[in-house]
Amino acid sequence: MNTRIGVRRKRNTKILATLGPASSTPEIIRELYENGADIFRLNFSHGSYADHRSRYQAIRSLEKESSRPIGILLDLQGPKLRLGTFAAGKETLKAGQSFRLDLDPTPGNKDRAPLLHPEIFAAVQPGHELLIDDGKVRLRIVSCGSNYAETVVVNSGTVSDRKGVNVPGTILPLSALTEKDKADLEFGLELGVDWIALSFVQCPEDVIELKTIVAGRAAVMAKLEKPSAIDSLDAIVEQADGVMVARGDLGVELPAELVPVLQKRIVRACREAGKPVVVATQMLESMIAAPTPTRAEASDVATAVYDGADAVMLSAESASGAYPVEAVRMMDRIITSIESDPLQRTMMNAVIHRKNESATDAICAAIRTVADILPVVATVTYTSSGATTLRVAHERPRTPILSLTPNLHVSRRLALVWGVHSVCAPDVGSIEEMVDNAVRAAAQHGFSVPMLPLVVVAGTPFGVPGSTNLMRIVWPSSTAASIAGVSAEELATTEPNSGYRMRDPYFLPIGSE
């Protein structure tokens, strides 16, 4: 195993692992975590509420045992546009033939099929294309009205009951939230999930609608899977708390050669805006059925790490594949290898986080300079909302980031963020107490080296979100070690990455909400 529970990771890029039939038991979830999963995804396109509740409870039990905050992301299904049924179950269409789609629910045949989505007919125009079954069959619209579309078949193929329909290049007049999504959302918020991923985002108003309902109870991640969303990319990034590059769906509605271009563009936009970004879908796809990935897949993961993405995601590989633990272990190995390449930091730093004229951004930018001059071993951030830690993380400093927050929900959300080792700790009332607590936490979590400095970042007055205005350089000494409850001898013989379990009752026990 790459790590044991309670010990910090030796990498910065996080792993988001999807749970499913292959990874539902507490034992497998524990193995996934031990081998590198930092945050877990509950995919509400599949599974019952009982399934998701059981997985949620297993994660929270693991969290309590490990005394480490673990993030949970609920992925909403979003609208699913599908054909109706066929009298024969399926039909083979020939290129060049005419084919009609309409609102008549009568089962289809070789000449027509039901498409019971009036919003599609309200949006399409002659010349638009419809993609059936992930683009296996393409239809070009010749004429259309409020309840029908006459099309010509572009390529031969088979259509069958309930196959999905994509409408590329068209903004559909429907909400990203279905009635099912709203029920799933309420269920997930009652459970206590940390992130909500919104599917079918077309415009910033979709994100605003969800954030209004969530009302701060979780962070909101916009899934970019519709090409139409790219036209409003900056506005969507501004409204969202994080972004997911859903490459599988993008690849259905766009030529394959454009997906890498958009991935780079989306990651860059998020990096510049200081928003967490996840690269998802088909990263180690062959490991659904094989114990090792292809070399191309390993290179695909590497690209996201070189670009400085906050996290990479496993979907079916960990949810329903034959090798879920091996997939996580392989992802961990690839990330660790790439981050050891000096070129990785050079390429990652080609993108600079946009800075505002604020004390927060000035202090976070100064951390880089301090780390270049002094042998800083870690940056310790105090945060109540997570904003200070996010600002520091998206400077991509050379130093590891130890984030201390009294808010357990915030500590879980930060588990997704690049380079952050999140700890739930009590609030402080003075600068002296803050420094003492930072030294204590650094020692217990393996970030402290005797006589080498820590950088401590916080805001005063304490507990006020968005007030980052203080940076303190601290040299832990034998006195500091005593404050931390760790002997100087222990510190002197401790590897920087070895870590300490949170045994000290001073720190808030996980599960004590």
* 481, pLDDT greater than 90: no
Last residue of a domain, one of 105, 140, 166: 166
pLDDT for residue 158: 96
Q: Clarify whether residues 107 and 210 are in a common domain.
A: no
Q: Which domain holds residue 98?
A: 90-166
Last residue of a domain, one of 113, 142, 166: 166
Query: Could you tell me which residue, 155 or 227, shows the higher pLDDT?
Result: 155
Answer yes or no: is 348 within a domain. Answer: no
Q: Clarify whether residues 68 and 103 are in a common domain.
A: no
- Residues annotated as catalytic (active site), given as ranges: 41, 82, 223, 281
Cβ proximity of 275 and 391 under 8 Å: no
Q: Clarify whether residues 194 and 68 are in a common domain.
A: yes
| pLDDT tens digits for range 164-211 | 999 988 889 999 999 999 999 999 999 999 999 999 999 999 999 999
pLDDT for residue 166: 93
Answer yes or no: is 405 within a domain. Answer: yes
* 30, pLDDT greater than 90: yes
Averaged pLDDT for residues 459-477: 77
Answer yes or no: is 120 within a domain. Answer: yes
| pLDDT tens digits for range 399-451 | 999 999 999 999 999 999 999 999 998 888 888 888 888 888 998 898 888 78
pLDDT for residue 7: 64
Last residue of a domain, one of 166, 201, 228: 166
Here the CATH number for the domain that contains residue 61 is: 3.20.20.60
Answer yes or no: is 347 within a domain. Answer: no
pLDDT band with cut points at 50, 70 and 90 for residue 482: very low
pLDDT band with cut points at 50, 70 and 90 for residue 466: low
pLDDT band with cut points at 50, 70 and 90 for residue 478: very low
Averaged pLDDT for residues 472-490: 55
Q: Clarify whether residues 154 and 245 are in a common domain.
A: no
Averaged pLDDT for residues 468-486: 64
The amino acid sitting at 162 is: R
Total domain count for the chain? 3
Q: Comparing C-alpha atoms, which of 104, 252, 86, 80 is closest to residue 160?
A: 86
The amino acid sitting at 355 is: K
* Mean of the per-residue pLDDT values of the chain: 89
Query: Could you tell me which residue, 294 or 496, shows the higher pLDDT?
Result: 294
Task: Name the pTM for this structure.
Answer: 0.89
Here the CATH number for the domain that contains residue 121 is: 2.40.33.10
Report percent pLDDT > 90 for the chain. 71
Q: Clarify whether residues 181 and 318 are in a common domain.
A: yes
Instruction: Give the orientation angle of helix 26-34 with respect to helix 324-339, to 10 degrees.
Output: 10
Question: How many residues in the chain?
Answer: 513
Handedness of CA 309, 310, 312, 313 (dihedral sign): negative
* 6, pLDDT greater than 60: no
Q: Which range, of 119-133, 319-333, 347-361, averages the lowest pLDDT?
A: 347-361
Q: Clarify whether residues 192 and 241 are in a common domain.
A: yes
pLDDT band with cut points at 50, 70 and 90 for residue 248: confident
Q: Clarify whether residues 286 and 323 are in a common domain.
A: yes
Answer yes or no: is 20 within a domain. Answer: yes
* 332, pLDDT greater than 50: yes
Answer yes or no: is 424 within a domain. Answer: yes
Q: Clarify whether residues 69 and 107 are in a common domain.
A: no
Q: Clarify whether residues 69 and 100 are in a common domain.
A: no
What's the CA gap between 170 and 202, in Å, rounded? Answer: 9
What's the CA gap between 67 and 505, in Å, rounded? Answer: 11
Answer yes or no: is 509 within a domain. Answer: no
Answer yes or no: is 3 within a domain. Answer: no
Q: Which range, of 134-143, 262-271, 328-337, 433-442, averages the lowest pLDDT?
A: 433-442
What's the CA gap between 495 and 239, in Å, rounded? Answer: 41
Q: Which two tokens stand for residue 98?
A: 């005419």
Q: Clarify whether residues 220 and 307 are in a common domain.
A: yes
Report percent pLDDT > 70 for the chain. 91
* 476, pLDDT greater than 90: no
Query: Could you tell me which residue, 357 or 41, shows the higher pLDDT?
Result: 41
Q: Clarify whether residues 376 and 428 are in a common domain.
A: yes
pLDDT band with cut points at 50, 70 and 90 for residue 373: confident
Q: Which range, of 10-19, 410-419, 503-512, averages the lowest pLDDT?
A: 503-512
Q: Clarify whether residues 368 and 323 are in a common domain.
A: no
SS3 468: strand
